[in-house]
Amino acid sequence: MSAQPAPVPPSQDAASSVAAVDLAQRAMTAFARPTLGADPWFTELAPLLTPATRSAYTGTDPAEVPARAVTGGGRLEESTSAFLAYVVIPTDVGDYRLLLSRESGTADWLVETITAPDGVR
């Protein structure tokens, strides 16, 4: 039995930053569609989420999402971990903050949390 190779540690380089912002932008665009039916909404959003987040959003009614549109490009915030990224995405109701994570340097970013702007529920 051969040993599995150690995971490649992630780096915080330009390509990683671009990938994080791109994923956050796609996730927020999929999330901010309250007029879409629940099944197609979840089908498009789910692959962009971590398993735990996917479970948390199962059964969500997209009509309850206050944001209706992404209104600008994402902005990466500083992070102390190469495994985590915080991305701010502007919407028609304010800036949402998405926390992304990845398991290794070769793993894709996935959304851990989608946090609404202060005062928006």
Q: Tokens 């987040």 correspond to what residue?
A: 53
Domains annotated for the chain, with CATH where assigned, are 14-115 (3.10.450)
User: Which residue spans within the chain are E strands per DSSP?
Assistant: 75-77, 84-91, 94-101, 110-115
What pTM value is reported for the model? 0.90
Give 10-residue mean pLDDT values along the chain (121 residues): 71 90 98 96 98 96 96 94 96 98 92 94 76
Q: 3-class DSSP state for residue 10?
A: coil
Tell me the pLDDT tens digit for each residue of 22-50. 999 999 999 999 999 999 999 999 999 99
- Separation CA 21–CA 90 (nearest Å): 12
Q: 3-class DSSP state for residue 20?
A: helix
